[in-house]
Amino acid sequence: MICLQEFSFPVYVNEINMHEIRIAEDLTGIILEVAGREKLSKVTQVNIIFGQLIQIVPDIFEFAFRETVRDTIACDAIVNIEIIHVKMKCRNCTTEFRINENIFTCHNCGSTELDILEGKELFVKSIEGE
């Protein structure tokens, strides 16, 4: 078995909220490209990271992914999804904090002048195969 953890292909989503099917299509393209380059005959596992702000519904994504990998070397791959919670930094007091319950105010000073540090990520963390 081969585990390709060094392959990380970030895809950042700015103000457009991509639909699960489009994300599945894009990630499938990346997975198949890497598998081909590494001469894999079968993809056995894919680990994907989504930032919370991507607003992915894991069950819908997995269904979409299954459709996009049908009849490919990744058709039986196990899909693991990890969600990264939103991390913000206050521009006023420089406090860093995680967002809970979609309340976008500084936990320290109450400011809404915030920068997003984490939570917009979307990438293939690793691909395993034979």
Q: What is the mean predicted confidence (pLDDT) over 101-112? A: 90
Is CATH 1.10.1060.10 the right assignment for the domain spanning 2-85+121-129? Answer: no
Q: In whole angstroms, what is the distance from residue 21 CA to residue 42 CA? A: 22
pLDDT digits (tens, 9 = 90+) for 59-85: 889 989 999 999 999 999 999 999 999
Q: In whole angstroms, what is the distance from residue 63 CA to residue 73 CA? A: 17
DSSP three-state, residue 74: coil
For residue 116, what are the contacts with CB-CB under 8 A and spacing of at least 6?
53, 86, 87, 88
Please check the confidence at residue 94 and state whether its pLDDT lies above 80. yes
Q: Cβ distance 54 to 13 under 8 Å?
A: yes
DSSP three-state, residue 18: coil
Please check the confidence at residue 117 and state whether its pLDDT lies above 60. yes
Q: Round the average pLDDT of the chain to a whole number and report it.
A: 86
Q: List the domain boundaries for the chain.
A: 2-85+121-129
Measured in Å, how far apart are the chain's first and last C-alpha atoms? Answer: 5
* Residue found by looking up tokens 């406090």 in the block: 95
Please check the confidence at residue 7 and state whether its pLDDT lies above 50. no
DSSP three-state, residue 13: coil
Q: In whole angstroms, what is the distance from residue 112 CA to residue 79 CA? A: 36
Give the pLDDT band (50/70/90) at residue 100: confident
